[in-house]
């Protein structure tokens, strides 16, 4: 597609429920990233995929959070036993090459706004 | 540990003025630096990147990098009301697996009034 696509755009869920957020990166982009942004803060790194594998998942806050990218394209961020503190915008981004390539840039999707009530 | 610091703002300038946005970073090994613009309720949009010391110009935008001072700035000339947004500074990770991530500042909110 033309840009990074994320679904759902908005999600309201009850505390304790399970949530899945989907990301479809720009066609041909090998690197995919998940970030989380709370109100008044900059995006906070969660996980980075190069191809199908998670190259860096050290930003995931705890074991309730998990992400997959089984075919190296679409990715799903999964949150178990949601808590009110999980409420944030979850941003997916992609880049053509790994971020460590100088000047290689990442492009963000519109985000999934998650509200846990 | 805060990796990237931005002047807190908000910054308010009149239309036509120069807006100056500043950012400092803690890791001397950082190589790539990015400025993103984020309109309220929207996702970050890349404006510019820079990885060499000095100035880089793109239209009304100029990014300035001083690695010795660990300082990067963004100048917006002839500011327009449409430039009103939050500007995010980001730097790349430099350690092992963190090479794939960006560290963002909290952002500076800019308002350009007519």
pLDDT tens-digit series, residues A38-48: 998 999 999 99
CA distance to partner chain A, nearest, from residue B95 (Å): 10
B107 and A91: CB-CB below 8 Å?
no
Task: Read off the pLDDT of residues A62-105 as tens digits, 9 standing for 90 and up.
Answer: 999 999 999 989 999 999 999 999 999 999 999 887 655 556 67
Residue B28: DSSP 8-state: T
Residue B18: DSSP 8-state: P
Q: What is the pLDDT of residue B1?
A: 41
Q: Which two tokens stand for residue B110?
A: 């800019």
Cβ atoms of B90 and B72 closer than 8 Å = no
Distances (CA, A) of A63 to A8, A56, B41, B64: 22, 15, 29, 40
Report the C-alpha gap between B109 and B92 in whole angstroms: 22
Q: What is the pLDDT of residue A99?
A: 59
Residue A72: DSSP 8-state: S
Report the C-alpha gap between A8 and A2 in whole angstroms: 18
Partner residue opposite A42 with nearest CB, options B49, B97, B107: B107
Give the Cα-Cα-Cα angle A21, A26, A31 (nearest 5 degrees).
80
Q: What is the pLDDT of residue B2?
A: 53
Instruction: Please report where in the chains the tokens 């989380």 appear, as a residue.
Output: A36
The enclosing H or E element of A92 equals: strand A88-95
Where does the pLDDT of residue A2 fall: very low under 50, low under 70, confident under 90, or very high at 90 and above? confident
B101 and A56: CB-CB below 8 Å?
yes
Least confident of A89-98, A102-111, B1-10, B104-113: B1-10
Where does the pLDDT of residue A22 fall: very low under 50, low under 70, confident under 90, or very high at 90 and above? very high
| Chain A residues touching residue B97 (CB < 8 angstroms) | 55-56, 58
More confident position, B93 or A89: A89
């Amino acid at each position: 597609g033309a840009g990074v696509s994320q679904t759902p755009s908005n999600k309201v869920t009850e505390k304790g429920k399970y949530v899945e957020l989907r990301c479809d990166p720009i066609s041909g982009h090998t690197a995919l990233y998940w970030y989380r942004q709370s109100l008044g803060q900059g995006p906070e790194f969660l996980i980075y995929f190069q191809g199908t594998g998670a190259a860096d998942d050290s930003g995931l806050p705890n074991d309730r959070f998990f992400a997959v990218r089984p075919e190296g394209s679409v990715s799903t961020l999964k949150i178990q036993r949601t808590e009110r503190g999980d409420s944030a915008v979850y941003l997916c981004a992609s880049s053509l090459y790994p971020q460590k390539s100088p000047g290689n840039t990442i492009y963000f999707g519109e985000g999934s706004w998650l509200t846990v009530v | 540990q805060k990796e990237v610091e931005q002047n807190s703002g908000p910054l308010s300038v009149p239309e036509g003025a120069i807006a100056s946005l500043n950012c400092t970073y803690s890791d001397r090994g950082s190589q790539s630096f990015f400025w993103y613009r984020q309109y309220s309720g929207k996702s970050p949009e890349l404006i510019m990147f820079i990885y060499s010391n000095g100035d880089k110009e793109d239209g009304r935008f100029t990014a300035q990098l001083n690695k010795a001072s660990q300082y990067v700035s963004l100048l917006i000339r002839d500011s327009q009301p449409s430039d009103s947004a939050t500007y995010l500074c980001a730097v790349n990770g430099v350690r092992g697996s963190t090479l794939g991530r960006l560290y963002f500042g909290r952002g500076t909110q800019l308002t350009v009034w007519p």
